[in-house]
Amino acid sequence: MKTLICNCNQTLPLDAPALQRALEKTPGASTDGLGFTHTLLCRREAAYFQRAAKDTTTQGEELLVACTQEARLFLELNAETEGAAGVQERPIHFVNIRETAGWSQEGRQATPKIAALLAAAQLPAAEPVSTVSYRSAGRCLVIGQAEAAERAATMLADKLDVSLLLSSTGSALGQTRSHATYNGRLTRLQGWLGKFEAEWESTNPIDLDLCTRCNACIDICPEGAIGLDYQIDLNACKKHRECVRVCDAAGAIDFTREPLRHGEHFDLVLDLRSAPAFSQHQPPQGYLHAGGDERAMVDAVFKLREMVGEFDKPRFVRYEQKLCAHSRNEQVGCSACIDVCSTTAIRSDASRKGRAKGQAWGGVIVDPYLCVGCGACSTVCPSGAMSFAYPGTVDMGRRLRTMLTAYAHAGGRNAALLIHSQEAGTRLLDELGRGASLSRRDRSLQGLPARVLPVAVWHTASIGIDLWLSAIAQGASQVWVMTTGEEAPEYRQALQEQMDVAQAVLSGLGYSGQHLRLLEVRDARDLHALDAALRAEPAQTVARAAAFSAQADKRATLELAVDHLLAQAPKPVDELPLPAAGAPFGSLIVNAEKCTLCLSCVGACPEAALADNPDAPQLRFVEKNCVQCGLCVTTCPEDALTLQPRLWLADGGKARKQVRVIAEAEPWKCVKCGKPFGTLRAIENMLSKLSGHSAFQGAAAERLKMCSDCRVVDMFSATNEVRITDL
């Protein structure tokens, strides 16, 4: 890949030789084009860009321009350059090294950071993901008061087929019927872009579908109970019924009519009521709520006008039911993904049993049409059944590792990764960079420190503890996540819980300082607070950076990270207690007084953490496999199990990977042949519970004390004795 760098009219202190040396040592990185620093590549030196566009086309290379400010201009220049391939055939990549690196009070120390940003931008594109399609024909329902609804409908009418649902009385409809108009109370709204189902109930005596707006009823009503919304204010109406008489021909007014129930399908919904139809933080795509805000209504109208046609979006999440710890045999354990989802795109399917051969557990259902790609489900999922795919863990892990490697090769120390969203987060960092460039004298804003590496992601909740700990193991000093007003409150809580777990691991191993932190920034007014927060002291990291790559399996990545952190730990320990909320590791405590070793927990465990011993009445446990889902606890009929969140690191971490016995019992021996079967406590409990049952008296009760073979022989012998007696 050929890279073009520019010092933006000498406002960036670029050290091209140092960048070359750093990228030469970074696996997969290219130094082509870094031998020369441009000054105004987007203006008087534009010919250099055009020449590079032609050369990379001829050589079959890709082109990287270290400027996002003038990306549109460069794309236009590429289109006008003879011999240059179109962006569909050969995409042009852009990376920001101005606001995120050079425009800072520490710009002269930012060479390692710039090397990291360039190396990451040179990586190949992530693996493509499948898509979900929406189809909208433009049927739009506008809900609200008459005047506001008609005003919105007028702005939409030339692009959409608009229907109105008047939700209250007291406003005025236009004299001309321009749109299908209904009145009533919305009773049900569900669906998404292209597939909304709306139901409403009308109890008003005037049927707007029959009303001709002749105004005769308004004129005749002595109380003035009928307004220009052509609805009757039943609190003011004295029921003279003069309105019914003058409307006889149209028949639109009927006080005896049963409530009218309607249902329609729509592609889009604009809700102008104060209370939205959807309570979740992120409503379905195609539904816009403006309330009574005029500006919000105009913004919503502009968005709706463009929502006609066919649209594709990525299928953000991959789900593997076989790894899911949500349910088993209709018992519910982990529900972390359901609890955190702000779009209600995930629902329980705990009752699903045996739909495929060998399957005896349920799981969850992910609706891709409601999913907006926050990735929080993958972050809180302890088993890795949910994984974010846009990009996947392997691609994102490669990106973080590449940045840290290039940063270190360029002499950088104590790197702090700043995870932020591609939209709002990027805008705020751009504002911070610009503010720092204009504050060189008063230093009111210092900009991103040289050690802070910005990482733009689709959604800040999509990266979790596996990649955070991997980054620390690979040499990062800290991982910060910058949230804005985009995130739902449950996302921030989930991220904080996961950070508490990761910090407990690092602090417990003796790494000093605060390694993980949420930085909440609402808008540009918080830039000074953000600027100060970014100047936090570095935290202690590993003496030797790990060389492993992130795996597709979340648990595998966690194991690699924990093993390396333990090997490099300043203070190795045998056991680390973890916060109960969000802990993906832990043990199981068995109450020996209650446990009958019925082994129901073994059948319930979806992760093979629990197993029996075919040769002895024992309950065996592999702690590494336990995800603390709690299915064993909810399944246990004796209430004998308790989860213990912890990270067990005895014997250098090997102990937690080995099978150990956590419960065993004295076996019951067959009263006939002496062969052990079951456990003493289980058989005694059974005998006690069945002692009063008429079917288990005498010989039948004695058979309960026998093994299965002896029981059959005894029953056969008893049958033969009866037959001989009869003869």
The 3 state secondary structure assigned to 45-103 is CHHHHHHHHHHHHHHCCCEEECCCCCHHHHHHHHHHCCCCCCCCCCCEEECCCHHHHHC
Contact (CB, 8 A) for 640 and 595: yes
Lowest mean pLDDT among 19-28, 109-118, 496-505: 19-28
Provide the angle, in degrees to the nearest 10, between the axes of the packed helices 554-567 and 393-409.
30
pLDDT confidence band for 352 (50 / 70 / 90): low
Joined together, the tokens standing for residue 555 give: 């648990």
Rounded to the nearest 5°, which phi and psi values hold at 503? -65, -35
Q: In angstroms, rounded to a whole number, what is the distance separating the alpha carbons of residues 420 and 486?
A: 11
What pLDDT score does 506 carry? 98
Note whether 150 and 295 are same-domain residues: yes
Note whether 438 and 395 are same-domain residues: yes
Q: Write the CATH number for 608.
A: 3.30.70.3270
Joined together, the tokens standing for residue 133 give: 């399609």
User: At which of 296, 312, 328 does a domain end?
Assistant: 312
Each residue of 613-639: pLDDT tens digit? 988 889 999 999 999 999 999 999 999
Q: Write the CATH number for 336.
A: 3.30.70.20
Contact (CB, 8 A) for 502 and 468: yes
Each residue of 406-436: pLDDT tens digit? 999 999 999 999 999 999 999 999 999 999 9
Q: In angstroms, rounded to a whole number, what is the distance separating the alpha carbons of residues 298 and 414?
A: 47
Lowest mean pLDDT among 63-72, 310-319, 713-722: 713-722
Residue that has been written with the tokens 């060389």 in this structure: 547
Q: Please name the residues in contact with 623: beta carbons below 8 A apart, sequence gap of 6 or more.
A: 585, 586, 587, 609, 648, 655, 656, 657, 660
β-partners of residue 94 are 65
Q: In angstroms, rounded to a whole number, what is the distance separating the alpha carbons of residues 320 and 366?
A: 11
Contact (CB, 8 A) for 276 and 485: no
Joined together, the tokens standing for residue 342 give: 């702000």
Q: In angstroms, rounded to a whole number, what is the distance separating the alpha carbons of residues 6 and 45?
A: 10
Of 521, 512, 558, the closest CA to residue 539 belongs to 512
Each residue of 505-549: pLDDT tens digit? 999 999 999 999 999 998 888 999 999 999 999 999 999 999 999
Each residue of 578-626: pLDDT tens digit? 999 999 999 999 998 899 888 999 999 999 999 999 888 899 999 999 9
Each residue of 129-167: pLDDT tens digit? 999 999 999 999 999 998 899 999 999 999 999 999 987
Joined together, the tokens standing for residue 314 give: 């990525």
β-partners of residue 192 are 195
Provide the angle, in degrees to the nearest 10, between the axes of the packed helices 393-409 and 111-121.
150
| Other beta carbons within 10 Å of 209 | 14
Q: In angstroms, rounded to a whole number, what is the distance separating the alpha carbons of residues 604 and 50?
A: 64
Residue that has been written with the tokens 């045999």 in this structure: 329
Q: Write the CATH number for 217.
A: 3.50.50
Q: In angstroms, rounded to a whole number, what is the distance separating the alpha carbons of residues 400 and 28?
A: 14
For 586, what's the count of Cα atoms within 13 Å in the CB-facing half-sphere? 22
Structural domain count, the chain: 6
Task: Tell me the torsion sign for CA atoms 702, 703, 709, 713.
Answer: positive
Note whether 292 and 329 are same-domain residues: no
Q: In angstroms, rounded to a whole number, what is the distance separating the alpha carbons of residues 632 and 555?
A: 20
Rounded to the nearest 5°, which phi and psi values hold at 161? -90, 105
* Residue 351, pLDDT above cutoff 80: no
How far is the first Cα of the chain from the last one, in angstroms, to the nearest whole number?
Answer: 99
Note whether 468 and 524 are same-domain residues: yes
Q: Has residue 103 been placed in a domain?
A: no
Q: Please name the residues in contact with 674: beta carbons below 8 A apart, sequence gap of 6 or more.
A: none
Joined together, the tokens standing for residue 291 give: 């309330």
Over its C-alpha atoms, the chain yields an Rg (Å, rounded) of 34
Of 294, 165, 157, 152, the closest CA to residue 231 belongs to 165
Note whether 90 and 15 are same-domain residues: yes
| Concatenated DSSP letters of 159-194 | TSEEEEEE-SSSS---SS--SEEEESEEEEEEEETT
| Concatenated DSSP letters of 480-515 | EEEE-TTS-HHHHHHHHHHHHHHHHHHHHTT--S--
* Residue 477, pLDDT above cutoff 70: yes
Q: In angstroms, rounded to a whole number, what is the distance separating the alpha carbons of residues 419 and 297?
A: 32
What pLDDT score does 199 carry? 96
Lowest mean pLDDT among 30-34, 59-63, 269-273, 712-716: 712-716
The DSSP letter of residue 400 is H
Higher per-residue confidence, 226 vs 353 = 226
Cis omega (within 30 of 0) for bond into 391 = yes
Mean confidence (pLDDT) of the chain: 91
Note whether 274 and 419 are same-domain residues: no
Of 388, 384, 390, the closest CA to residue 422 belongs to 390
Residue that has been written with the tokens 């690196």 in this structure: 101
Note whether 518 and 429 are same-domain residues: yes
Contact (CB, 8 A) for 411 and 474: no
Q: In angstroms, rounded to a whole number, what is the distance separating the alpha carbons of residues 479 and 476?
A: 7
Note whether 448 and 593 are same-domain residues: no
* Residue 704, pLDDT above cutoff 80: yes
Q: Which domain holds residue 46?
A: 1-94
User: At which of 664, 687, 707 does a domain end?
Assistant: 664
Q: Has residue 30 been placed in a domain?
A: yes
Q: Has residue 147 been placed in a domain?
A: yes
Each residue of 662-687: pLDDT tens digit? 998 878 788 888 888 777 777 877 88
Note whether 149 and 32 are same-domain residues: no
Joined together, the tokens standing for residue 597 give: 């070793």
User: At which of 358, 388, 418 does a domain end?
Assistant: 388
Q: Summarize the confidence of residues 32-58 as an average pLDDT.
A: 93
* Residue 354, pLDDT above cutoff 80: no
Distance of CA 384 to the CA centre of its chain: 13
Of 134, 197, 113, the closest CA to residue 409 belongs to 113
Contact (CB, 8 A) for 611 and 338: no
Joined together, the tokens standing for residue 247 give: 């409307």
**How many H-runs (helices) and E-runs (strands) does the chain carry?**
21, 32
* Residue 724, pLDDT above cutoff 80: no
* Proportion of the chain above pLDDT 70, given as a percent: 97
* Residue 357, pLDDT above cutoff 70: no
Q: Has residue 514 been placed in a domain?
A: yes
Q: In angstroms, rounded to a whole number, what is the distance separating the alpha carbons of residues 164 and 308?
A: 18
| Other beta carbons within 10 Å of 176 | 8
Largest CA distance in the chain: 118
Note whether 308 and 319 are same-domain residues: no
Q: Has residue 577 been placed in a domain?
A: no
Q: Please name the residues in contact with 525: beta carbons below 8 A apart, sequence gap of 6 or more.
A: none
Q: Has residue 464 been placed in a domain?
A: yes
pLDDT confidence band for 727 (50 / 70 / 90): very low
What pLDDT score does 135 carry? 97
Note whether 307 and 319 are same-domain residues: no
What pLDDT score does 249 carry? 86
Joined together, the tokens standing for residue 274 give: 């104060």
Rounded to the nearest 5°, which phi and psi values hold at 497? -65, -45
The DSSP letter of residue 108 is G
Each residue of 281-293: pLDDT tens digit? 999 999 999 998 8
Task: Tell me the torsion sign for CA atoms 123, 127, 132, 133.
Answer: positive
Contact (CB, 8 A) for 701 and 690: yes
Note whether 536 and 400 are same-domain residues: yes
Q: Summarize the confidence of residues 374-385 as an average pLDDT.
A: 96
* Proportion of the chain above pLDDT 90, given as a percent: 72
What pLDDT score does 723 carry? 54
> E strands within 486-585?
516-520, 575-577
Contact (CB, 8 A) for 191 and 158: no
Of 276, 304, 300, the closest CA to residue 136 belongs to 304
Of 209, 210, 206, the closest CA to residue 218 belongs to 206
Q: In angstroms, rounded to a whole number, what is the distance separating the alpha carbons of residues 430 and 559?
A: 37
Of 125, 119, 73, 75, the closest CA to residue 97 belongs to 119
pLDDT confidence band for 175 (50 / 70 / 90): confident
Helix (H, G, I), strand (E, B) or coil at 540: coil
